[in-house]
Copies of this chain bind each other. A is one copy, B any other.
């Protein structure tokens, strides 16, 4: 049940409305955790009922601003520091990479090429982000996280280039 803690974490950074949280999920958490507004609003209601967050203001258009409570802060800390992390993940890209060797040479190459194009795109977007970041930066984005993204995508790019290279050899020639 990570959604709850993702919301608590974002509210620990700053009080927000459900609408703002929805945007933050999409902007900053896209790569590790997603949530639509249809999930966020009910979760905020549950968190409020449990006393982990509270409404601290009403704005235009019936908007409600939520803030984390001391209880919520304690629960967030407990989850981050004491709870057994769930290391499992679910990503279709990893599955595809695992199955791609089953394809015949031409398809395999094409598939790797497509993945490479995507990785290059991610990479340039992240580098763009890094270069445009003020010294004391947009609190939305943490510099080390961006750096990690760049490095992982770099490794992926190199690996894909090697696979494409190998797929250029005659079928079965890689002993």
Contact B175 A98 (CB under 8 A): no
State whether A29 and B98 are in contact (beta carbons under 8 Å apart), knowing that A136-B175, A155-B148, A175-B135 are contacts in the complex.
Answer: yes
Contact B155 A159 (CB under 8 A): no
| Copies of the protein in its oligomer | 2
Q: Residues 30-70 of chain A: 1 if any B CB is under 8 Å from the residue's CB, otherwise 0?
A: 11111000000000000000000000000000000000000
Which residues of B are found within 8 Å of A6, using beta-carbon distances? 95, 99
Q: Which of A15-23, A78-86, A124-132 lies on the face that meets chain B? A: A78-86
Query: How long is the Cα–Cα vector from A29 to B114 in the complex, in angstroms?
Result: 22
Contact B91 A89 (CB under 8 A): yes
Q: Tally chain A residues at the interface, Cβ within 8 Å.
A: 59
Query: How long is the Cα–Cα vector from A29 to B102 in the complex, in angstroms?
Result: 15
Contact B155 A90 (CB under 8 A): no
Query: How long is the Cα–Cα vector from A115 to B97 in the complex, in angstroms?
Result: 25
A170 within 8 Å of B (CB atoms) = no
State whether A144 and B159 are in contact (beta carbons under 8 Å apart), knowing that A88-B34, A111-B81 are contacts in the complex.
Answer: yes
Which residues of B are found within 8 Å of A144, using beta-carbon distances? 101, 159, 162-163, 166
Query: How long is the Cα–Cα vector from A58 to B103 in the complex, in angstroms?
Result: 29
Query: How long is the Cα–Cα vector from A94 to B147 in the complex, in angstroms?
Result: 14
Nearest chain B residue, comparing its CB with the CB of A33: B95
Contact A90 B87 (CB under 8 A): no
